[in-house]
Chains A and B, each alone.
Chain A
Amino acid sequence: MKATFRKLRKLLLAAALFCCVLVIASCGATVDTEFTADSNFNGTRVITLTLDNSDLSEYVPGGKDSIDITIKKYMPDCLTYTLTEGDDALVCKFTLAFTGIDDYRTKAAKILAAEVDEPVTPEIEYESIGSPFKSSLKFKENFSSMDLIGWLRYGLQKDEVVTRESTSDWFESGDTKVTIAGTDYSAYSNISVDNSVYNTPDSVLVKTYFLTSGNFDRTIEFCFSNDTLTKLSEQNVNVEEYFKGIVTASTTEKLVQDYQTTYYVKMKDMTADQIAAETAKVLQSENVSFGSSLKPDVNVDRRLLINVSEKLDGAYYLRNDRNLSSIYFLYNGAEPSDSSAVSFGYYNDNDLRGYSYIPSYVEAETAESSFIWDVDFEKAGAYLDIAGNKVNLDIKMFASSDMLETAKQILDDSLTAALPEGVKLETKDEDGMTVYTVDLGTKEAEEEASTYREFVYNYTGEKAECKFETEKSSSTSPFKTITSYSTVIDMNPLSGKAMEFTFKKTGDLYILDNSQITTYAELVKQAEDAQAEKQEYMGEDYAMSEDDAAKLEQLRKKAESADYSGEFYGTIRFYAIEESANVFAYVCLILFIVFLLAAIIAAAVGVKFLMSAKPAAPAAIPAPQQPVAIAQNAAPVQPVIPAQTAPVAEADAPAAEVVEEAPAQEETAENAAAEDENKEVNV
């Protein structure tokens, strides 16, 4: 009996305690929330506090008026309220009216920043999209209505309106109703709504091309899996037609592959503003911008600084904003600075480097990227003409005729400033290129080399090797002269690409094997072999691209040049010999033969004179007469005639005949002597 009584007593005690808890728990104000917003997020958040009259009389000695005073004293001005005293309870309604998500964010932040015991930093996520690809409603907060009336709890406690030690447990969360765009969603104290259906592309890629005109091309690529396209098709969404329907200044294309289909929206040659406007249309977002500026770097020669700012929003299409990326293809050679948002992406079909970033990873609202562009010529070349000791070197620099005007001006100014004294710069347009010719003039080899070195140093600040050597060498043939040419020109500072070299030929030029020039004839052969290989590999269907055909044709044209020409990288190492006729050798040989023959003839004549003079004189003396003495005196002259005629006779007739004719010659001599005698007499 005693035990039963003890048990009953314990049970009654527990029941009493439970009742006490219930009484304590039920006392205070209930806080209900009704959140209503339309599709543009215009609406109200109504927070209703309901305080039973019994609680009011028990805990609020000042009654309704004291609460009213506190509200007026502490309520942030973006709230409105009504205080109604009913039969059973006092009802206080606080209304937060807002026009759009930004307005809501601003006002919520202001309310939460009021004097409170436990401050809250608001985070509000909101997305409401109804597109063919995505029906999405997301609304999440990290605070509740209890937090939004934190200022009231603080005021009631501070002004001791409520006679409880703490007001923190005097408020109780009630119901929360959320209605957005006419649809009701269930929610608890911190609102969290997520109601989305996705048929989105896997990725959206925005490619922007910087054009030399200063304008831009842009291609936006939407990559869908074919499964997604099938689902969209079932919902009567024709993606191709959709994109055609939303663009105004763009064209659309698509590429169907095994598992995916890519839709391209292409914008051509537009200004930055036009690009931004069209992109906003395509991405169906106002949260889009694009801008670019370009200016010379005052600290570095031939350097341009490019700044790009961009804002992109792919939320209309994408489930996850990380799948939106942007890539810039700038002018060839432009590279991002360290502080840039972009990093290296990939090369496009034209080997142009692309720099990409993911907009959602950028903390700032607008992604800022800066680039450094060291402007350079597309190619360079050296044109050499050597005549004797005189050398003429022309350096040609080529820039595309449609190069960005600012860049072209920088190159022009820079070249002009680098010209050594007396060196000319000529500019002309040729085959779509602007050709800058630096004519170093015709000078002695060392002087020309020095002028080249000076030009390179002025232009690049780098030292370059340059030497021209021309030497006469011996040919194994005496009738030929060999001139050897040895030319070394370091053109590394001017260009890192393949450069042209042309040498003006004057005779038979042989290029030595150790020259490091690939002739255009060799390049033609290499190109033809490459095409033949492709043809063999790909079969009869293969056709050379227009670009390749044009390049090959250009090479062929260059290979037909009468001068020696080809391509090289970095440093020209040109060694050649030129064979020409040795006129001196020909003259010497002719003189040698002529002199030798003449010497033989003269020697023969002399010998004849000497031989014929001694025996002829006594035999030819006639009978002593008056004039004989005179004739004797004239005797030494007598052999002249036979001596002169003898070699001719010897040459034309056999020796025996010469012997037989000899007396006749003596008679002639005698006659001549007689004639001389008569002449003496006559005198």
Chain B
Amino acid sequence: MNKGIVSIIVAVILLISSIVSGALFFGCAKNPDGLSALQSIIDGCNKKSETQIMKNFDEMYEKATYLSPDFSKCVTSDDYLKVLGVSFNYMYDEECETEKFRIIGTKEEELTDEVLDGFNRYLGEFAGNKKPSVFYAYLAADYKDADGASQTAINTLGVVALNGKVLGFVYLG
């Protein structure tokens, strides 16, 4: 009887330990609000899917950014990204060819006036009473250069998100 109770107690302790270490592990990949939407948008660019891109933007996106994305002339994934106001330096070299865009990391920011000034104030205002989350995403582009060699370019993208959707973002390049 005692051994059984001891085993149970040990089991509980081990369970708590596993929960703690699991929490720590999953905490390593803690994502800011709106990251999955952003990832979906970037993936939509890779897939050249206007629907996938737009469904991840908040409904206030167009009002907040004065942008009415027009994907009708988009041919490559670069074009889709450019419509959103994001580009990379290598894209101006016609011999370079994009392979894939991906998000490799984020850095969260407090929504201070200073940060807000860095973004478009309208983005914050359109969030209404709710406080939008702000984070910087490191957007990577894997591409082949003129010699056919694989390269990776990185851009920092300022993202304002609300309710798990992207309200707008600002290219900091």
A residues 587-615 in Cβ contact with B at 8 Å: 588-589, 591-596, 598-610, 613
Known A475-B29, A476-B35, A599-B17; further 15 A-B contacts with Cβ < 8 A: A473-B136, A478-B25, A478-B26, A482-B107, A514-B155, A514-B173, A575-B156, A588-B24, A595-B14, A598-B18, A605-B11, A606-B9, A609-B1, A609-B5, A613-B1
Known: A510-B152, A613-B4. A595 touches B104 (CB 8 A): no
Q: Do A577 and B6 touch (CB < 8 A)?
A: no
Known: A482-B105, A595-B18, A609-B1. A510 touches B155 (CB 8 A): no
Confirm or deny: B130 has a beta carbon within 8 angstroms of a beta carbon on chain A: no
Confirm or deny: A582 has a beta carbon within 8 angstroms of a beta carbon on chain B: yes
* Complex Cα spacing A595 to B22, Å: 9
Confirm or deny: A193 has a beta carbon within 8 angstroms of a beta carbon on chain B: no
Q: Do B28 and A584 touch (CB < 8 A)?
A: yes
B89 to A: closest C-beta gap in Å? 5
Confirm or deny: B73 has a beta carbon within 8 angstroms of a beta carbon on chain A: no
Confirm or deny: A25 has a beta carbon within 8 angstroms of a beta carbon on chain B: no
Q: Could you name 29 residue pairs across A and B whose Cβ atoms are closer than 8 Å?
A: A474-B106, A476-B35, A476-B105, A477-B29, A480-B105, A482-B105, A512-B154, A512-B155, A513-B173, A514-B156, A579-B105, A582-B28, A588-B24, A592-B24, A593-B18, A595-B15, A598-B14, A599-B17, A602-B11, A606-B3, A606-B4, A606-B5, A606-B8, A606-B10, A609-B1, A609-B4, A609-B5, A609-B7, A610-B5
A632 to B: closest C-beta gap in Å? 15
Task: Report which of B17, B89, B103, B154 forms a contact with A577, defined as CB distance below 8 A.
Answer: B154
Known: A512-B156, A582-B28. A476 touches B11 (CB 8 A): no
B residues 133-147 in Cβ contact with A at 8 Å: 136, 138, 140, 146
* Complex Cα spacing A613 to B39, Å: 55
A644 to B: closest C-beta gap in Å? 9
B134 to A: closest C-beta gap in Å? 14
Q: Do A599 and B14 touch (CB < 8 A)?
A: yes
Known: A513-B89, A595-B18, A603-B11. A476 touches B104 (CB 8 A): yes
**Residue with the highest number of chain B CB atoms closer than 10 Å, among A474, A480, A588, A595:** A474
Known: A474-B30, A474-B107, A595-B17. A513 touches B7 (CB 8 A): no
Confirm or deny: A471 has a beta carbon within 8 angstroms of a beta carbon on chain B: yes
* Complex Cα spacing A588 to B15, Å: 14
Confirm or deny: B31 has a beta carbon within 8 angstroms of a beta carbon on chain A: yes
* Contact-residue bracket for chain B: 35 or more
Question: In the assembled complex, which residues on chain B have CB atoms less than 8 Å from the CB atom of A473?
Answer: 105-107, 136, 138
**Residue with the highest number of chain B CB atoms closer than 10 Å, among A594, A598, A607:** A598
* Complex Cα spacing A593 to B22, Å: 8
Q: Do B8 and A607 touch (CB < 8 A)?
A: yes
Question: In the assembled complex, which residues on chain A have CB atoms less than 8 Å from the CB atom of B5?
Answer: 606, 609-610
Residue-wise interface mask of A (498-534) relative to B, using a CB-CB cutoff of 8 A (1 in contact, 0 not): 0000000000001111100000000001000000000
Confirm or deny: B153 has a beta carbon within 8 angstroms of a beta carbon on chain A: yes
**Residue with the highest number of chain B CB atoms closer than 10 Å, among A478, A605, A606:** A606
Binding site for B on A (CB under 8 A): 471, 473-480, 482, 484, 510-514, 525, 575, 577, 579, 582, 584-585, 588-589, 591-596, 598-610, 613, 636, 640, 643
Q: Do B104 and A579 touch (CB < 8 A)?
A: yes
Q: Do A592 and B21 touch (CB < 8 A)?
A: yes
Confirm or deny: B71 has a beta carbon within 8 angstroms of a beta carbon on chain A: no
Q: Do B31 and A592 touch (CB < 8 A)?
A: no
- Which residue from chain A places its CB closest to the CB of B10 in the assembled complex? A602
Q: Do A511 and B105 touch (CB < 8 A)?
A: no
Q: Do B8 and A602 touch (CB < 8 A)?
A: yes
* Complex Cα spacing A471 to B25, Å: 20
Confirm or deny: B126 has a beta carbon within 8 angstroms of a beta carbon on chain A: no
Q: Do A606 and B7 touch (CB < 8 A)?
A: yes
Q: Do B14 and A511 touch (CB < 8 A)?
A: no
* Complex Cα spacing A475 to B35, Å: 11
Q: Do B105 and A603 touch (CB < 8 A)?
A: no
Residue-wise interface mask of B (89-110) relative to A, using a CB-CB cutoff of 8 A (1 in contact, 0 not): 1000000000000011111100
Binding site for A on B (CB under 8 A): 1, 3-15, 17-18, 21-22, 24-26, 28-32, 35, 39, 88-89, 103-108, 136, 138, 140, 146, 152-156, 172-173
Known: A599-B14, A603-B11, A606-B11. A592 touches B22 (CB 8 A): yes
Q: Do A484 and B107 touch (CB < 8 A)?
A: yes
* Complex Cα spacing A479 to B104, Å: 12
Question: In the assembled complex, which residues on chain B have CB atoms less than 8 Å from the CB atom of A640?
Answer: 3
Question: In the assembled complex, which residues on chain B have CB atoms less than 8 Å from the CB atom of A600?
Answer: 11
Known: A471-B107, A484-B107, A609-B1. A588 touches B21 (CB 8 A): yes
Question: In the assembled complex, which residues on chain B have CB atoms less than 8 Å from the CB atom of A593?
Answer: 18
* Complex Cα spacing A658 to B22, Å: 35
- Which residue from chain A places its CB closest to the CB of B30 in the assembled complex? A474
A528 to B: closest C-beta gap in Å? 11
Q: Do A577 and B138 touch (CB < 8 A)?
A: yes
Q: Do B88 and A474 touch (CB < 8 A)?
A: no
A582 to B: closest C-beta gap in Å? 6
* Complex Cα spacing A605 to B39, Å: 45
* Complex Cα spacing A278 to B123, Å: 78
* Complex Cα spacing A584 to B24, Å: 9
Q: Do B154 and A513 touch (CB < 8 A)?
A: yes
Question: In the assembled complex, which residues on chain B have CB atoms less than 8 Å from the CB atom of A598?
Answer: 11, 14, 18
* Complex Cα spacing A609 to B9, Å: 13
Known: A609-B3, A613-B1. A474 touches B29 (CB 8 A): yes
A479 to B: closest C-beta gap in Å? 8
* Complex Cα spacing A574 to B3, Å: 63
Q: Do B29 and A636 touch (CB < 8 A)?
A: no
Task: Report which of A482, A513, A591, A601 forms a contact with B104, defined as CB distance below 8 A.
Answer: A482
Q: Do B25 and A592 touch (CB < 8 A)?
A: yes
Q: Do B138 and A596 touch (CB < 8 A)?
A: no
Question: In the assembled complex, which residues on chain B have CB atoms less than 8 Å from the CB atom of A477?
Answer: 29, 104
Task: Report which of B18, B24, B138 forms a contact with A482, defined as CB distance below 8 A.
Answer: B138
A657 to B: closest C-beta gap in Å? 24
* Complex Cα spacing A13 to B148, Å: 120
Question: In the assembled complex, which residues on chain B have CB atoms less than 8 Å from the CB atom of A601?
Answer: 11
* Complex Cα spacing A577 to B139, Å: 11
